[in-house]
Structure 1
């Protein structure tokens, strides 16, 4: 069985604010147990988390062994204050403050660094990225600092230029990567980076009534086309559903993501092996040395 390469153990797939309220006065371990049981029931034994600011993923790491789950976490994601990322992590204003946060991840037992370099898809309008990307020079230095501390870097990044710059900066995985273009795909193919598209997030939103299905279908069509082209070029890819996001349930989310990939690429041994290889790269890289 594939592993879940992008999850948020504290989220409940229903309501983000509700999930936060349940944890803000102290970690509710029952939530963690329930979600780990969902993975266990689906035969999923590897989970890479995207972090949170409530210490939930840190507690989850302590509890994961009893479920036979190899669980990796950055503890919390790191974002530049004033930019997207507060919902899953902690912010900085200067690179000196960023370096301090990286050292905090090390001190609390985090396995890797997660950075936020862009916003998300604007599902309310046309699907464009919600804000401008961080400057290349800043992203490059963020990656350098993390690597110097012995960490691999998971990068939440959307948009063709931002993905290309994140790859050039040396990140180890691209999360989401919506709206990549040929240049960005070529750069990924020529690098060792692993792309985790999380396309089921979009598919599972279709029909919910919260957003325009026309916008969602457009994002899904472009994403499917880019996954197909990425596979043709040999971009390293792995399955990750963003489990915990709205309508993406822990355990089932990974099966949904695999279903999306089967629709796009077909269910062949070549496709399966390609995804297993991408996941193997993540398993090797995203662990504390």
Structure 2
């Protein structure tokens, strides 16, 4: 399959050292970083990128530069998280729903294409099935998605864990990012929804052999996600190709290509044609829905 887009990237990150990458933009955005990143995608004829946002105005600047490289670049400008919960590294926080609503308005005023919310913690890569935190309450997730939809904005949700995924799916989230540890009930809900699941296999699989975490644990986490992808494909779920490019061990150079290989390995070559069709349709859907005033529709 010819890869034309990546549905989950972070221009601000370099796949090697997050703190060092962010530090480059301490005083002002280093445009050369964005230019090198876009040049890499341009050379491989990858013309559609959906960013996860950041707290340093890098993706805001990248949106202005992208047309020079023939790239259709979509961004939430910054992700939104509840204070005291995971998400500060990629965005801005709130304490009350009124403050959340104000952040949604800020995204719109800055020209953001959609809203990204953080509803769960990260995977703990040294333990299978464990997250860095439980995540938000179901009622909070539902209200956050509802507010964004009322403003005509689609919602991208960083989501791991059964309860968080179920809450986001029931609330009508437009795309569910990562989705680690979903169970059969979640997959059935996914199959009956319009939600696009972006499983981001690369961050886990690319760490294998690097010595940072126990490879046995990493293999188990990756195998569980692969099994869910096979089940999701069988159920007719919408699956999108998003590599989480920029995350540790996922450098932008060839990230979507690596993610595609991992997806094919997960489902098997016999299902590759079906997978290709699903991935293409999901990208087309994201291109349509993740734009201002789409209402996620």
Range class of TM-score, shorter chain:
over 0.9
- Establish whether residue 252 from structure 1 lines up as the match of residue 254 from structure 2: yes
CA drift at 1:187: 0.1
**Alignment partner of 1:205: what SS?**
coil
Residue number in structure 2 paired with 1:265: 267
In 2, distance between residues paired with 1:2 and 1:180?
Answer: 28
Residue number in structure 2 paired with 1:213: 215
- Establish whether residue 198 from structure 1 lines up as the match of residue 204 from structure 2: no
Contact 1:80/1:92 (CA < 8 Å) preserved in 2?
A: yes
In 2, distance between residues paired with 1:229 and 1:139?
Answer: 25
CA drift at 1:288: 1.3
Unaligned runs of 5+ in 2: none
**Alignment partner of 1:101: what SS?**
helix
Aligned counterpart for 2:36 among listed residues 34, 37, 61: 34
Give TM-score, length-normalised by structure 2: 0.95
Contact 1:240/1:254 (CA < 8 Å) preserved in 2?
A: yes
Deviations 1:215-257 (A, max 9, x none): 1111001000000000000110110000000111114110010
Deviations 1:48-85 (A, max 9, x none): 00000100001000000011000000000000000000
In 2, distance between residues paired with 1:43 and 1:208?
Answer: 30
Contact 1:127/1:215 (CA < 8 Å) preserved in 2?
A: no
Residue number in structure 1 paired with 2:281: 277
**Alignment partner of 1:229: what SS?**
helix
- Establish whether residue 14 from structure 1 lines up as the match of residue 16 from structure 2: yes
Root-mean-square deviation over aligned CA pairs: 1.0
Contact 2:174/2:196 (CA < 8 Å) preserved in 1?
A: yes
CA drift at 1:124: 3.1
Deviations 1:120-178 (A, max 9, x none): 10013345111012001111110111011110000000012210110001110000000
- Establish whether residue 95 from structure 1 lines up as the match of residue 97 from structure 2: yes
Q: How many residues align?
A: 289
Give TM-score, length-normalised by structure 1: 0.98
**Alignment partner of 1:284: what SS?**
helix
Unaligned runs of 5+ in 1: none
Residue number in structure 2 paired with 1:286: 290
In 1, distance between residues paired with 2:156 and 2:292?
Answer: 13
